[in-house]
Amino acid sequence: MRLSTKGRYAVTAMLDLTLNGGDGPVTLAEISETQGISLSYLEQLFAGLRGKQLVRGVRGPGGGYYLARPADEISIADIICAVDEWVEFTRCSGNKDCHGGNKCLTHNLWDELSRDIYTFLSDISLADLVARGGEIQAKCKKEAEKAGAKTKAA
């Protein structure tokens, strides 16, 4: 498993898509504006997401992206693996060149952990995250209204 800022950008963009995808497709320009990610970088990320069948793009005016599957069928692990392509770590899978078993052992332990992390992230869907953040959403909206009434309504 691998987790970097690239994965963060992808998850953030997918969250934006989940939240705003209610009425028609969302353009990358909008996500770029809202989330502060460059348009071209978003395009790269979405190339990966599209390749893994997580999003679908429609071209032309009124176009944009929408989730290819319902939000509860897209896991965080799916998103991260789509953009941060999975690099296999262990080279000693076949037990060759094991230094008395110790090297192989630690590698296997890491693989075990790696699998655990993957499983953990596979059990969290976009819908889960949004649902879990319900109170955050309410609180955030309230404070945003309180802070500046001039901000454009969503």
Partner DNA sequence: ATGTATCCTAGCGTTTTGCTGGGTTATAAT
Partner DNA sequence: ATTATAACCCAGCAAAACGCTAGGATACAT
Contact 98, 108 (CB under 8 A): no
For residues 82 and 21, give the distance between their C-alpha atoms in angstroms, rounded to a whole number: 20
Q: Which stretch binds DNA (CB under 7 A): 4-12, 73-81, 114-122, 128-136?
A: 4-12
Using the rule CB under 8 A, is 88 a contact of a copy of itself?
Answer: no
Q: Is 55 helix (H, G, I), strand (E, B) or coil?
A: strand
Classify residue 68 by burial, with Cβ atoms within 10 Å: 0-12, 13-18, 19+. middle
For residues 136 and 112, give the distance between their C-alpha atoms in angstroms, rounded to a whole number: 34
Q: Which stretch binds a copy of itself (CB under 8 A): 44-52, 56-64, 65-73, 134-142?
A: 134-142
Q: Which stretch binds a copy of itself (CB under 8 A): 39-47, 49-57, 62-70, 87-95?
A: 87-95
Can you tell me which of 38, 93, 106, 122 binds a copy of itself, judged by CB under 8 A? Answer: 106
Chosen from DNA, a copy of itself, none, partner binding at 64 (C-beta under 5 to 8 Å by type): DNA
Q: Nearer to a copy of itself by C-beta: 20 or 60?
A: 20
